[in-house]
Amino acid sequence: MDGLKERLNAIVGRENVFDDEKSLALFSHDESFAKSMLPRFVVKAKNAEEVQKIVKLANEMKTPLIPVSSGGKRYRGDTVPSVPESIILDLSGMKKILNINRQQRVAMVEPGVTYGELIAALRKEGLTLSVPLTPKASKSVVASVLDMEPRLNSLHQWNFIDPLRCTEVVWGDGNRMYTGEAGGSPMDVEKQWSADKWQQSGTGPMMLDFYRLLTGSQGTMGIVTWASLKCDVDTKVHKLHFVASKKAEDLNDFVYRVLRLRFSNELMVMNGSYLAALLGESAEQVAALKAELPNWVALVGIAGRELLPEERVQYQEADISEIAQQFGLKLVPAVPGAKGDQVLEKIMNPSPEKYWKEGAKGSFQDIFFTTTIDKTPSFIAAMLSLADEFGFSASDIGTYIQPQNMGTSCHCEFSLFYDGGDKKQTAIAKKLFIAASEMFSAMGAYYLRPHGIWSRLQLNKDAQSAFLLKEVKNVFDPNNIMNTGKLSV
């Protein structure tokens, strides 16, 4: 490591290289069950040129790099070093919104831009962006789309990668390129804009969709320094309704019918424990809401945009209400403990600084995977049975089912809420997390976003894919410096 710090200082400035105990400790662990490990340095980059120089230096010195762009607490273990002497490359200071084009409905942002910052800027232009459910306040938009976090508007999601389009990436070998249609033009976005090219298509350049190598890779292939995103026209009228039931399976046929007829804007299912955690601001409030809310509820958002917004909302309300009645259900604007406008405000905007999932018990662990809606009841029953074996309260398990990719599949998530200050509860939660993850894998769950132990569970199912993944990584990251140890390659 001789001379590494001095060479990093020369690239980003002495004030942006940290090796003090406090700075390193911030990145040595997160809120997941990942094993803690101190990094060697924390380096803050200001632009793509600095990122490229750091990647080239890391290749020369054979030093692992971990790109990080979100701030605050982290929960999935993907930014905790897996090998010693790693460098944390902090991109959270790259906060430029490079372009917003109302006509083309596209925005271009650097990795440090958060949802709150981008949504506010888009609203000034009459636009909005599809979002995940109540993202963390300091969550990077670029990190979120690269991780394929599920969007709320599944009917407008053409693939799991939406709304990501083009990127600028520094690959693990130090080469820098544009992906998507941006890759077929000069590496100067302002020149592309002057030629009326707006980085709208993510496919390419040529016959290879490079952005598919970046999504879900947890920074093991390269570092994205800007991304273009598909936007939507902002809503003029937006309402949220509920369809409640005693059992999750009673909602499945209703959800399938609404999806098939392409009604609604947002559509998701959650149990009372999950909704209570979302709405409650303290453990006491969450406990009170659990007792009041329905066992299961489908949330149905209906939006009207520029053309006849009121009329669009009214006819969809009537039609969706009729569909609910066909299955013995009822579409209502409120349920005990929750009103539509209150929940809509929660789900569409970033969380307060204290992440909302910490309100129920103080700590949580998520288990999430991709499946189909009809299979979710079997996963729910298995989760509850296993929790009972481990002595983990069923009321402390939140369940969230989010249709994806126009309803062809769904994100199924179980949130284990527990008191992280209680060693016994923490130990039980950890054992349950591991056992449930393995059980779901055996039941056919697909870990689309393979964080932590899920990468082993998923890749062990397909030796050929695991081999090809290693070969691809060898092409783009020949010295294995990018987030070394993640994805089991």
Spatial neighbors of 294 by CB under 8 A, at least 6 apart, are: 242, 244, 245, 246, 272, 335, 336
For 286, residues 6+ apart whose C-beta sits below 8 A from its C-beta are: 276, 277, 279, 280, 359, 360
pLDDT tier at 489, thresholds 50, 70, 90: low
Which CATH architecture is the domain 237-443 placed in? 3-Layer(aba) Sandwich (3.40)
The mean pLDDT of 139-166, rounded to a whole number, is 94
User: Residue 1: its pLDDT value, please?
Assistant: 47
Per DSSP bridges, beta strands 65-68 and 87-90 are parallel
| Residue 285 tokens, joined | 């409030």
Same fold, 4-92 and 237-443: no
Q: Within 125-251, where are the H helices?
A: 141-146, 189-194, 211-214
Q: How confident is the model at residue 156 (pLDDT cuts 50, 70, 90)?
A: confident
| pLDDT, mean over the chain | 96
Q: How confident is the model at residue 155 (pLDDT cuts 50, 70, 90)?
A: confident
Mean pLDDT across 333-354: 97
| Structural contact between residues 301 and 357, judged by C-beta atoms closer than 8 angstroms | no
CA atoms within 13 A on the CB side of 453: 18
Domain chopping of the chain, boundaries? 4-92, 97-233, 237-443
Q: What is the pLDDT of residues 36-74, one digit of tens each?
A: 999 999 999 999 999 999 999 999 999 999 999 999 999
What would the pLDDT profile of 261-319 be if each residue is shown by its tens digit?
Answer: 999 999 999 999 999 999 999 999 999 999 999 999 999 999 999 999 999 999 999 99
Query: 484 φ, ψ to 5°?
Result: -55, 135
- The architecture in CATH of the region 97-233 reads 2-Layer Sandwich (3.30)
End-to-end CA distance of the chain: 24
pTM of the model: 0.96
Q: What token pair was written down for 441?
A: 């894998």
Q: Which CATH fold topology does 4-92 show?
A: 3.30.43
Distance, in Å, from the CA atom of 459 to the CA atom of 446, rounded to the nearest integer, reads 10
Instruction: Note the pLDDT tens digit of each residue in 364-417.
Output: 999 999 999 999 999 999 999 999 999 999 999 999 999 999 999 999 999 999
Both tokens of residue 287? 């406990």
Average pLDDT score over residue span 125-146: 97
Give the pLDDT mean for 169-174. 98
The sheet carrying 296-304 orders its strands as 331-332, 237-245, 296-304, 266-271, 397-404, 409-418, 363-371
**Residues forming beta bridges with residue 298, ordered by sequence position:** 243, 269
Per-residue pLDDT band for 487 (boundaries 50, 70, 90) equals: confident
Q: How many angstroms from the chain centroid is the CA of residue 475?
A: 27
